[in-house]
Amino acid sequence: MRHPLLTVIKQGRIKRRQRWLLINSILFATSLALCCAMLMFGNSYYPPQEIWSALTGNAAGGASFAVNTIRFPRMLAGFFAGIAFGIAGNTFQTMLRNPLANPDILGITAGSSVAALICILIFHTSNTVVSIASVIAGLLTVFLIFILSKGKSFSIGRLILVGIGIQAMLSAAISFLLMRGAQEDIPTALRWLNGSLNGAQLDSTIPLMITVILCAPIVAILGRQLGILELGEESATSLGLNTNQTRILLVLTSVAMLAIATATTGPIAFVAFLAGPIAKRLVGVGYSNVIPAGLVGVNLVLAADLIGQFAFTTRYPVGIITGLLGAPYLIYLLIRMNRKGSL
């Protein structure tokens, strides 16, 4: 005869697992739907059959051009950038155990932007060099923040303050580079200040796709350990986890995705910040948050891009919409954390 408590626990587990699967399926379905919408809508509407024949190369001029050279790269860039921002943001938030400790606030995305801008505007390098440089700059920024905030005793508050300072400096550098590079070119400037999918091209999206396809599974597999890391250093070590190795691997893969996504679309505001907490709300505690965070990221980027394109009389780049959505949530989160005294 089994202990009744055991049955309850087991049932709870099954329930949570079902919920996790259900939420992931729903998120996946909505992101697919958004992808289709990205392909179908634009200056003119194309039905699904026509898009299919355009993608397979059997369509006439107009549809083929619009779908293959504009909408498809845009959709791909949005999709993979969404995964990258969502997963990378979630990694930092989980590892540092604070939703405010995300790549946007800490200035990691700004570091990658600076490197990408230097490569593009001053040295006119190829996409590969831009990607590599932005990854290195992202890692350097992470390294710098940790070194500077180490001190005698680690404190997440100090880390965030140091991050805000670094972010301010890097933003000044971005303004400087933009002023020298493209003074009259407002679209470029907006892309680098807020993030935008305008002008996404297939060949510049390929490095992003490869990185996400390589790195996202690693983070997802390490996701279980990420959950253990969240319990704190001591519990993780006593559960037999090699904490430093796990951390380094997680930071490397996450920053790689984040940096290349930033180099491709610009720092799309607040996606890295929003995806983790939203995913956690949806799936609850106890299961890995990595995959749902990535899917929430996709949904956010694609939905925001569609809203920015069609909801208003002016076309807004995606970063403005995510900024408008994300910033109030940041303030709400701050108020809640202050009330609870957890800051």
Partner 1 sequence: MNNLIEKQVPKRHLPKHLIIVLVASIILLCLCVVASLAFGARFVSWNELLTGLFHPEIESFSSSVVQERIPRTIFSLLCGAALGVSGALMQSVTRNPIADPSILGVNTGAALFVVCGIAFFQISSAAEYIWFAIVGAMLTAIFVYGIGSMGSSGATPLKLVLAGAATSAALSSLVSAIMLSRTYVMDQFRFWQVGSVGSANWNLILTFLPFLVVGILLAIMTASALNALALGDEVATGQGVRTGMIRLIAAFAGVILCGAATALAGPIGFVGLLAMHLMRLILGADLRFTIPMSAISGAVILTIADIAGRIIGSPGELEAGVVTAFIGAPLLIFLAIRMKVRSL
Cβ pair 100, 333 in contact under 8 A: yes
The three-class DSSP label of residue 60 is coil
Interface with partner 1 by CB under 8 A: which range of 257-265, 283-291, 298-306, 323-331? 323-331
The binding track of 100-129 with respect to partner 1, each residue x by CB under 8 A or -, is: x----x------------------------
Asked if 176 touches partner 1 (CB under 8 A), the answer is yes
C-beta closer to partner 1: residue 2 or 152: 152
Question: How many chain residues bind partner 1 (CB under 8 A)?
Answer: 50
Q: How far is the CB of 170 from partner 1 (least distance, A)?
A: 9
C-beta closer to partner 1: residue 167 or 288: 167
Distance CA 225, CA 228 (A): 5
Asked if 3 touches partner 1 (CB under 8 A), the answer is no
Distance CA 123, CA 42 (A): 34
Q: What's the N-to-C CA distance of the chain in angstroms? A: 47
Distance CA 291, CA 25 (A): 11
For residue 183, give the DSSP letter: S
Interface with partner 1 by CB under 8 A: which range of 63-71, 241-249, 258-266, 311-319? 311-319
Distance CA 229, CA 122 (A): 41
Asked if 33 touches partner 1 (CB under 8 A), the answer is no
Distance CA 285, CA 94 (A): 12
Q: How far is the CB of 320 from partner 1 (least distance, A)?
A: 5
C-beta closer to partner 1: residue 20 or 316: 316
The binding track of 67-106 with respect to partner 1, each residue x by CB under 8 A or -, is: ---------------------------------x----x-
Among 65, 123, 310, 312, binds partner 1 (CB under 8 A): 312
> Where is 169: in which H helix or E strand?
helix 156-181
Distance CA 43, CA 341 (A): 50
C-beta closer to partner 1: residue 123 or 176: 176
237-to-229, 245, 313 alpha-carbon distances in Å: 9, 12, 55
Q: How far is the CB of 252 from partner 1 (least distance, A)?
A: 24
Ramachandran sector of residue 53 (left: φ over 0; alpha: ψ -120 to 50; beta: rest): alpha
Among 101, 130, 261, 269, binds partner 1 (CB under 8 A): 269
> Where is 197: in which H helix or E strand?
none
C-beta closer to partner 1: residue 128 or 155: 155
Instruction: Provide the CB-side half-sphere exposure for 51 (13 A, CA).
Output: 17
Q: How far is the CB of 21 from partner 1 (least distance, A)?
A: 35
Among 179, 210, 214, 231, binds partner 1 (CB under 8 A): 179
Query: Token digits for 254?
Result: 């996450």
Q: How far is the CB of 165 from partner 1 (least distance, A)?
A: 4
Cβ pair 290, 219 in contact under 8 A: yes
Report the b/e string of 211-239 with b at 16+ CB within 10 A. bbeebbebbbebbebbbbbbeeeeebeee
For residue 50, give the DSSP letter: H
The binding track of 141-170 with respect to partner 1, each residue x by CB under 8 A or -, is: -------xx-x-x-x-xx-xxx-xxx-xx-
Asked if 311 touches partner 1 (CB under 8 A), the answer is no
- Contact set with partner 1 (CB under 8 A): 100, 105, 148-149, 151, 153, 155, 157-158, 160-162, 164-166, 168-169, 171-173, 175-176, 179-180, 183, 186, 190, 193-194, 269-270, 312-314, 316, 320, 323-324, 326-328, 330-331, 334-335, 338-341, 343
